[in-house]
Every structure is written in structure tokens, then in C-alpha cells.
């Protein structure tokens, strides 16, 4: 008798690591990859309560919460090593951790500049570098960029836009480096998404008015795009930036 195969579990047998996975889009990605059959580890920095609650939800695929500040390169390396030592392998790396420190260039502090690049750019590079020795043909690297990598639309995010533009360039270049190994490298570019970063109804309404679909996105919609890029259906997609912005930049 053939073993039962759940066709909805497209990631059965895969191990994923999601950085910044305790809240918002990151938590939605963790839940979705787990629901698709992957065993998922994720990092958190300051949201221990959210992280423990996510593990406690009871999904068998959410296996491991790792405290790691993405601004600390050694902590990022440790998270990769912990995932492999605890779960035995690493097939999918989702670089989701990121921060926004807004401000105009006139008086933007260099310490804020350095911190944002450390989390949004350096940590992505460090995680990929640490993960590669454990990855094989068919492995996936997916990074959360932003629509502001090529469409800003409002002032005060020049440094953030630079970091996401760097991710965009890194993704394209690494796709060339890693293509011969059968490893795909892609990024997603979400627009405004309904997470706790949306502070109030006035902000939600203002953002919705800019969207072609007249609403902001949901974290589960963004997670579905990550799940697609992690799935067997995306084997011929690499070096791509997939926009999911409700038509903001249309």
C-alpha cells in the first residue's frame, strides 16, 4: 500500500528558518509554511511573549523560537546553526526581519543609519552566508524587501528605501551566484499591510486611498506569496522581485 500523501502539504519534509517571525508578516509566514507541511524555526528579538504564544498555538510545524537580534551578526549565525542542529537540515531561509527608522536626511543620525543597514542588509547577507553550507539543490532563499525599493511615494524614508534597494540588488546578484547550485533567490516587495505598524484608522484610510484596490493588504496575503516561492511550483523563478502592493505603484 502506498503511503498517504497530503497534496496540500507541499513543503512536507522541509525545514524553514524565518527571521523576525514572531509578529506581523513574519508570524503569518511562519504559520503558512507550517500549514504547508514545513517544520519551521523562527527568530525574535524583543517580542518573547509573541514568540512563545506562536509556538504554543499547537501547530506541529512550528518547532522552534530562537532569540536573536538581527543587528548582531553572531546572533544571526547562531540562529542558523541552532536550526540545523535542532531540526537536522535547512531548506528554506526567509529573511524577514527588518526595521524602519524614518527621518529626513538633514538631521538623520548615523547611528540610526548604521542600525538600519545592520538589520535590513547585513543580517540578510550574514544569514545567507551561514545557511549556504547546509543548502542543496532545490533550496530556497526569500527576502522581504519593500515596495519602497523602487517606489517611495512619501518623504522621510530615504534611508529605509536605500536598505531595501540594496536587498533588491543583492537578490539579483546572488541568483547568478547560486543558480548553478540549484538554489533560487527571490525577494517580495509588500506595500502597506495591515499589521500593528498601522497605528490607527486614519492611517489605514489614508493608505487605502492610495491603493488601486482601495484597501491595504493582509499579512496572510503576503505570506501566501512567500509560500509560493518556497513551493515546488516556483522552481524556475530566481532573481525576481515580486511586488504585492495592491496596485500602489501601478
Report CA Rg, the chain: 18
Number of domains, the chain: 1
The answer to whether 151 is a known catalytic residue is: no
185 contacts 171 by C-beta, under 8 angstroms = yes
Q: Would you say residue 87 lies in a domain?
A: yes
With respect to residue 8, please indicate whether it lies within any of the assigned structural domains. Answer: no
Estimate to the nearest angstrom the gap between the alpha carbon of 124 and the chain centroid.
10
List Cβ neighbours of 185 (8 Å cut-off, separation of 6 or more): 141, 143, 171, 174, 175, 178, 238, 239
Neighbour count for residue 133 (Cβ, 10 Å): 9
pLDDT, mean of each 10-residue run, the chain (250 residues)? 61 97 96 96 93 86 94 98 98 97 95 98 98 98 95 89 97 98 98 82 88 94 98 98 94
Q: What is the pTM of this model?
A: 0.94
On whether residue 44 sits in a domain, the answer given is yes
The reply to whether 249 falls in a domain is no
Does any domain span residue 9? Answer: no
8 Å CB contact between 151 and 249: yes
Q: Which of 108, 151, 160, 228 is catalytic?
A: 160
Range of the domain at 154: 15-244
Residue 2 placed within a domain? no
- The pLDDT of residue 228: 98
C-alpha cell belonging to residue 103 = 527621518
CA–CA distance, 218 with 240 (Å, rounded to integer): 22
* Short-list 196, 194, 190, CA closest to 226: 190
Count Cβ atoms within 10 A of the Cβ of residue 232 and give its class: 0-12 exposed, 13-18 middle, 19 or more buried.
Answer: exposed
User: What pLDDT is stored for residue 182 in this prediction?
Assistant: 98
Sheet-wide strand order for 39-44:
62-67, 39-44, 15-18, 92-95, 140-144, 184-190, 241-244
Whether the CB-CB separation of 187 and 171 falls below 8 Å is answered with yes
Alpha helices, DSSP H, located in the chain: 24-35, 48-56, 73-87, 110-117, 123-131, 158-178, 201-208, 219-230
CA 37 to chain centre: 18
CB 217 within 8 A of CB 247: no
**Is 145 inside a domain boundary?**
yes
| Residue indicated by cell numbers 514572531 | 22
Q: Is residue 4 part of a domain?
A: no
Q: Could you tell me the CATH number of the domain that includes residue 100?
A: 3.40.50.720
Amino acid at each position: 500500500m502506498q503511503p498517504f500523501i497530503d497534496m496540500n502539504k507541499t513543503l512536507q519534509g522541509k525545514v524553514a528558518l524565518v527571521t523576525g517571525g514572531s509578529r506581523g508578516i513574519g508570524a503569518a509566514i511562519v504559520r503558512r509554511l507550517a500549514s504547508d507541511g514545513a517544520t519551521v524555526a523562527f527568530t525574535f528579538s524583543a517580542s518573547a511573549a509573541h514568540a512563545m504564544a506562536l509556538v504554543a498555538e499547537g501547530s506541529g510545524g512550528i518547532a522552534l523560537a530562537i532569540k536573536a537580534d538581527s543587528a548582531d551578526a553572531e546572533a544571526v549565525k547562531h540562529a542558523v546553526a541552532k536550526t540545523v542542529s535542532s531540526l537536522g537540515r535547512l531548506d528554506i531561509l526567509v529573511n524577514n526581519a527588518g526595521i524602519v527608522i524614518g527621518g529626513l536626511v538633514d538631521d538623520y543620525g548615523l547611528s540610526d543609519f548604521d542600525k538600519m543597514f545592520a538589520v535590513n542588509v547585513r543580517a540578510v547577507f550574514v544569514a545567507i552566508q551561514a545557511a549556504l553550507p547546509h543548502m542543496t539543490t532545490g533550496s530556497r532563499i526569500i527576502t522581504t524587501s519593500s515596495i519602497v525599493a523602487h517606489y517611495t511615494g512619501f518623504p522621510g524614508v530615504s534611508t529605509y528605501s536605500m536598505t531595501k534597494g540594496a536587498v533588491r540588488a543583492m537578490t539579483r546578484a546572488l541568483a547568478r551566484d547560486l543558480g548553478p547550485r540549484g538554489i533560487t533567490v527571490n525577494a517580495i516587495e509588500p506595500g502597506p499591510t495591515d499589521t500593528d505598524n498601522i497605528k490607527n484608522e486614519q492611517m489605514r484610510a489614508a493608505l487605502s486611498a492610495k491603493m488601486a484596490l482601495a484597501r491595504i493588504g493582509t499579512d496572510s496575503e503576503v505570506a501566501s506569496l512567500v509560500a509560493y516561492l518556497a513551493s515546488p511550483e516556483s522552481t524556475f523563478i530566481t532573481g525576481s522581485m515580486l511586488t504585492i502592493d495592491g496596485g500602489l505603484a501601478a
